[in-house]
Amino acid sequence: MTDSDGTAACGPDIRAGEPLAEVTGLSVAFGNRHAPVPALREISMRIGRGEAIGVVGESGSGKTTLLRSIAALVPRPFIRSGAVRFGNRDLLTLRERELATIRGREIGMVFQDPVNCFNPAFTIGYQLRRAFRLHRQGPGGGTNAEIGRALDRVGVDAGRLARYPFEFSQGQLQRLMIAAACFAGRPALLLADEPTTSLDVTTEAQILGMLRELRRDLGMALVLVTHNLALAAQLCDRVLVMYAGRIVEEARVADLFARPAHPYTRQLLRSLPVLPRRRGRLYSMPGDPASAANARRGCPFAPRCEALLGAVCADTEPGLLPTGVNGQLAACHRYDIAQAATENLAGQAPA
Amino acid sequence: MSATTIGKPADPGPSGEQAAASQRNRVLSALLHRPLALTGLCGVALLVLIAAAGPLLAPDNPDQTSSHATAPPSLAHWMGTDQLGRDVFSRMIVGTRISLAVGVGSTAIALVIGGLLGMLAGLEAGRAPDTVLMRAMDVIFAFPVLVFVPVLSGLAIGRPIHLGPIPVGQLAVLTGAISVVFVPVFARVARASTLAEAKMEYMLAAMAFGARRRDLVFRNLLPNVAAPLMVQAAFSIPLAVITEAAVSFLGFGVQPPQASWGDILNDGRNQILLGDWWETVFPALAIVVTVLFFNFIGDALRDVLDPRARAREMTAAATGAVVIGDRGD
């Protein structure tokens, strides 16, 4: 935690160079062909080398599905369209055998609930050793010394390797999972699915500091799924806001907080408690979270939107449009109106 | 640990085998602390000893007829003699081997075959292999045991059945037939646990860390499916012993002069009417006691291996409540 927040927040420029990974036109629907339950709709995102991206949204907005899709952990039949390019491969077309050499080795993953991620029947040492050996053939792979060094980095006593998962606290298990995710392979990309949701705030702060340090030292890109905007703000360069299985806003962290473009983001930010406390009740967003499963005509956020533009919101679904600031994108009709207006002006000017 | 052990090619540390061993120790010590389980363990150990030593323990030649026919229990013949004057106690001891071997053998076969089929079905849940396998299990399940086993076993009386070039003796056929009957139970247990395990997050986590399907099945799934299968086995062994006894009682099992408990029961059937109780009571007692011993172990194993039961116990202990009738799952 000695690094300045500045270095973590700036990161490499998001548009510069070849991205580490790129998701294009990804649509996922669970259920069978006759009764599909859409979870993700036409998601596209780029992950730059060493970049930290936060994915925020309410429960059911598709954050976790998106994260699992990036590791190709969503069963193939549910992927309706799209590609996940990592390096020069499309992960969604690889066979399981090939994926097994990428997962853990080039893409590390940290899950939400560390307690359930360890098999209760085996000691921690046994499970870590297995994770390490998966990616280190030959002698020297997964030795206690190597695992001990990894545990040193995450601050868990290496003398406790012979213990079972139930003998560890949640925070320690999360540290162990992070150790396995970061050091078993040499991942260029770390996927973290609400890594601190099940932890208390003190532990959360420690884990976040640790994640930031590890990311800096190992040069990993990070995709952090969370429903906690503050978390994304602390750790990420760029934030994707998801709603009903779609990306509704994409912005640099500073821009998102300074000038939220989508009404959903604005209402989301308004519902955060701020100190010193203003008078009156804390704002609470009306309506229920929409899920991608019950799709409606028009903009999915329209029923809860407090900045409706009129019939267009109820009739047509807005695309993800540039807002004109720093590559910020938002899926709201106000920007296509703005765009149309500028185009009109541009068209009329010569006449 | 990290600094001192660098450079050693093989670090001493708890390996997988040792982890498994410590799990076994935990289970064993938990069993030893329950009086009923301890009784069951000692009883089964005694039975195994008797089965192993067999003829060495028998005071008389079990097949030797004598003029002391249908004599009641006495110092010379602890359990009396049968119609042919054979010593019932000696026959009981020799019969232990067959009864146990058939019971344990058939259960072991059913455990392996049923377990593997069930895991396969569970992994393919909802797809064709699952449907075909489990419907086949239903068919076997629907077949009356006491028709199926005697018929198969009866076919082999006097002449071995040839499976290709391999002759299969009657005892082996009997064991195999009983194991077929028990396969569906194990398949269902294995399938159900596989379904439950496959949903666990650690399976997904293992995949996310790059584990292959083989690793997932044999290093994550199998050890966790094994526990309920072991419990099922503890309850199936006595059932298999009873089945063997029943089939032998019907005359389609062990053939004379060989002795098994059911076969001795069968011999004594006619004597009951004459008031000569000893030839039926002792084998019946032996069967009952054996079933009890195995059930004690099964009960305790279930409690020890099932984490939910352990949690319930701890809650009960913490709240001072008594868990009553907490048997069914």
Q: Quick one: pLDDT at residue A77?
A: 86
What is the average pLDDT score of chain A? 85
Task: Read off the pLDDT band of B329 (50, 70, 90).
Answer: very low
Six-digit token pair at A329? 């994108």
E strand or H helix at A7: helix A5-10
Please report, for residues A79, B92, B95, the alpha-carbon distance to residue A189 in angstroms, rounded to integers and kept in the order given.
Answer: 22, 69, 66
Which chain A residue's Cα is nearest to B15?
A: A126
Q: Quick one: pLDDT at residue A337?
A: 74
Q: What is the DSSP letter of A56?
A: E
Please report, for residues A135, B212, B225, the alpha-carbon distance to residue B207 in angstroms, rounded to integers and kept in the order given.
Answer: 13, 7, 18
Sign of the C-alpha dihedral computed for residues B310, B313, B318 and B319 taken in this order: positive
The predicted model scores a pTM of 0.72
Q: Quick one: pLDDT at residue B13?
A: 42
Q: Show residues of chain A in contact with B201, CB under 8 Å.
A: 111, 113, 116-117
Pairwise CA distance, residues B191 & B186, whole Å: 8
Q: Quick one: pLDDT at residue B288?
A: 92
Q: Do A122 and B19 touch (CB under 8 A)?
A: yes
Residue A31 has pLDDT above 50, yes or no: yes
Pairwise CA distance, residues A218 & A189, whole Å: 10
Identity of the residue in B19, B200, B209 whose CB atom sits nearest the CB atom of A131: B209
Q: What is the mean pLDDT of residues A85-114?
A: 90
- Where do runs of H (alpha helix) occur along A76-169? 96-102, 114-117, 124-133, 144-154
Quick: pLDDT tens for A188-201: 999 999 998 888 88
Residue B223 has pLDDT above 90, yes or no: no
- Would you call A180 an interface residue with chain B, using a CB distance cutoff of 8 Å? yes
Residue A281 has pLDDT above 90, yes or no: no
How many Cβ pairs closer than 8 A exist between chain A and B?
Answer: 108
Which of B209, B224, B304 is most worth mutating to test chain A (most A CB atoms within 10 A of its CB)?
B209
Quick: pLDDT tens for B236-264: 998 998 899 889 888 888 887 788 888 88
CB A209, CB A200: distance < 8 Å = no
Quick: pLDDT tens for B46-68: 999 998 887 888 888 888 877 77
Quick: pLDDT tens for A253-280: 999 999 999 999 999 888 887 777 667 7
Quick: pLDDT tens for B131-143: 999 999 999 989 8
Q: Quick one: pLDDT at residue A65?
A: 93
Q: Do B211 and A134 touch (CB under 8 A)?
A: yes
Quick: pLDDT tens for A312-331: 888 888 888 888 878 899 99
Which chain A residue's Cα is nearest to B203?
A: A117
Q: Show residues of chain B in contact with A118, CB under 8 Å.
A: 202, 205
Tell me which residues of chain B have a C-beta less than 8 Å from any C-beta of chain A.
Answer: 1-2, 5-9, 11, 13-16, 19, 22-23, 200-202, 204-213, 215, 219-220, 223-224, 307
Pairwise CA distance, residues A69 & A80, whole Å: 12
Instruction: Determine whether A70 is exposed, middle or buried from the number of CB atoms within 10 Å of its CB (0-12, 13-18, 19+).
Output: buried
Quick: pLDDT tens for A54-85: 999 888 888 999 999 999 998 888 999 999 99
State whether ipTM is beyond 0.95.
no
State the smallest CA–CA distance between residue B130 and chain A in angstroms.
18
Q: Show residues of chain A in contact with B305, CB under 8 Å.
A: none
State the smallest CA–CA distance between residue B314 and chain A in angstroms.
15
Identity of the residue in A103, A123, A152 whose CB atom sits nearest the CB atom of B2: A152
Pairwise CA distance, residues A323 & A330, whole Å: 7
Which of A65, A96, A144, A174 is most worth mutating to test chain B (most B CB atoms within 10 A of its CB)?
A144
- Would you call A101 an interface residue with chain B, using a CB distance cutoff of 8 Å? yes
- Would you call A154 an interface residue with chain B, using a CB distance cutoff of 8 Å? no
